[in-house]
Structure formats: structure tokens, C-alpha cells
Amino acid sequence: TAIMSDKPDLTEIARFDKTKLKKTETKEKNPLPTKESECLLYYSIQCVQSLWVWCRSL
């Protein structure tokens, strides 16, 4: 039977061999926007706003 203790059993951690881990490649799911994409978004918004103002003036 296992004996309950306040201290964790670290024997498994001591025997852990990280060389057996598989190499994985991670990719950023939500990368930060580039300066170019920020500019494109800004000018797109400006264009839509200008078009909206122009359409309302008709």
C-alpha cells in the first residue's frame, strides 16, 4: 500500500530522460501583425471611411 505524505515522491523525476522526448516544431497561432499589415489595415479603414462620407453626400 502507498503511504500518504506531505512531500511529493521525486524518484520518477530523478529518472526522467529528456533525450527520449520527440522533437516538435511549434508555430504561433496568433502572430503579431507586421508593420506592413498594420499600414494596410489603416489605409483600408481610411478608404472605407472616405467612401462612406462621399456616399452620404450624394
pLDDT digits (tens, 9 = 90+) for 8-42: 778 888 888 889 999 999 887 888 888 998 999 99
In the structure, what pLDDT confidence band is assigned to residue 2 with cuts at 50, 70 and 90?
low
Domain boundaries, the chain: 34-58
**The predicted structure's pLDDT at residue 8:** 76
In the structure, what pLDDT confidence band is assigned to residue 4 with cuts at 50, 70 and 90?
low
CA dist., res. 34 & res. 40, Å (int): 10
CA dist., res. 51 & res. 3, Å (int): 74
For residue 38, what is the enclosing H or E element?
Answer: helix 35-56
